[in-house]
Amino acid sequence: SASYDDAPSDPANYRVVAVTSLADSGPGSLRACADRPFKRVCVFETSGRIALRTPIVVEHPDLVVAGATAPSPGILVTNSGLKIRAGNVLVEHLAIRPGDEAEGAEPSERDGVVVEGGLASSVRLRNLSVSWAVDENVSTSGPVRDVSVERCIISEALYDSIHPDGPHSMGALVGEGARRVSFVGNLFAANYDRNVRWKFDTSGEMVGNLIYGWGGKTPWNTTNLSDLEGGGGAVTLDVVSNVYVPGPEGLRSAFAVFAEEPPSGTRVFLADNRAPRETNLPESLLASSPVVGVTAVPYGSEETPEKVFAEAGSRPWERNPVDKAVISGVRSETLRIRDGVGSFPEVAEHSRPLPLSGMELAPEEVPAALAAVPR
């Protein structure tokens, strides 16, 4: 079979690269697969914890990270996360928990997943469990395009932790210049702020998400639109079939969508959301039909919580203890904002060979090949 350095014979095809090592870097590591300068699919012949020293930076396009191929109980990435700076990237079925250990990325860089830069387009983050970040669990930066965050558990960003600026705990941030950023079917749980924060000059949608347990005693901590900053552009946003549930610590009368001084030209479509209060936006900024319209709404808000509980997270068919505790705490409305990790859960290391390792696949063959791997 081919080694991880062998490009496919046809550059239109993908090489299947086996992750066999839990090391930060080197042959067989996740970083080595992500670094390859050709189309590649990272499959996992091992389960266990990957403790990173620095973020894994994806600079080359056409990458699939197929976490569902790992044997039970899956892959846990800690001490840092991913930075995606390339196009046509799919990352799915990983638990990413940066945490607060002494080893790892600098605290100011200890995010879960960051999608950044003008080359980052057609990026899908699907069925991830992202928690215990020191800054944002998930964020975009710069003029990214067509980014989707689907069926993820985005939870427990650390509050009074090791961030150089002091207390933090941020769920998700969409940075200025982003276009068509979608959050669909996710669980946001016990993140103090940014659930989601949309900066000026952005467009996107929030569809069928469950947002629970924000912090603070002001309206800022749910979904907020940044104030006009230096003449920045408008926010264009659809917010449909989302459910907002206060936890023990946040403002119980919060708005689903809040803005104090939204940029000129902002247009927001709101429909079928359940929240203590829906919005403080003036009628002049509210649209009567979708203004982005990327995702067809798959279900109504009455179904949102159970759909999210059933389908979100890194391995819904085999819940890890952290995700079980988060879902249980949301159901009972007792989950609180977290300051520190304490200790990471143990993740058993099991190995198995995968027949598709080293194969060369046409793009249309990749989904079926991955679906055939037993779970």
Say how far apart CA 31 and CA 52 lie, in whole Å: 9
At 108, the amino acid letter reads S
Segment 62-103, tens digit of pLDDT: 999 999 999 999 999 999 999 999 999 999 999 999 999 999
Least confident of 175-184, 195-204, 226-235: 226-235
What length is written for the chain?
375
CB atoms within 10 A of CB 51: 18
Average pLDDT estimate for 1-7: 67
* pTM across the whole model: 0.97
Average pLDDT estimate for 315-331: 98
Say how far apart CA 26 and CA 19 lie, in whole Å: 10
Q: What angle do CA 326, 184, 310 make, to 5 degrees?
A: 45
Which token pair is 191? 């993140």
Segment 249-267, tens digit of pLDDT: 999 999 999 999 898 899 9
Segment 110-145, tens digit of pLDDT: 999 999 999 999 999 999 999 999 989 999 999 999
CB atoms within 10 A of CB 230: 6
The residue behind tokens 């198995």 is 352
How are strands ordered across the β-sheet holding 121-126?
286-287, 267-271, 235-240, 202-207, 179-184, 145-150, 121-126, 89-92, 63-66, 40-44, 14-19, 360-361
How are strands ordered across the β-sheet holding 95-97?
48-51, 75-78, 95-97, 129-131, 153-155, 187-189, 210-212, 243-245
Kindly report the backbone phi and psi dihedral angles of residue 326, in degrees, each rounded to the nearest multiple of 5, phi listed first: -65, -50
* pLDDT higher than threshold 70 for residue 353: yes
Average pLDDT estimate for 288-300: 91
Which of 75, 66, 155 has the alpha carbon at shortest distance from 112?
155
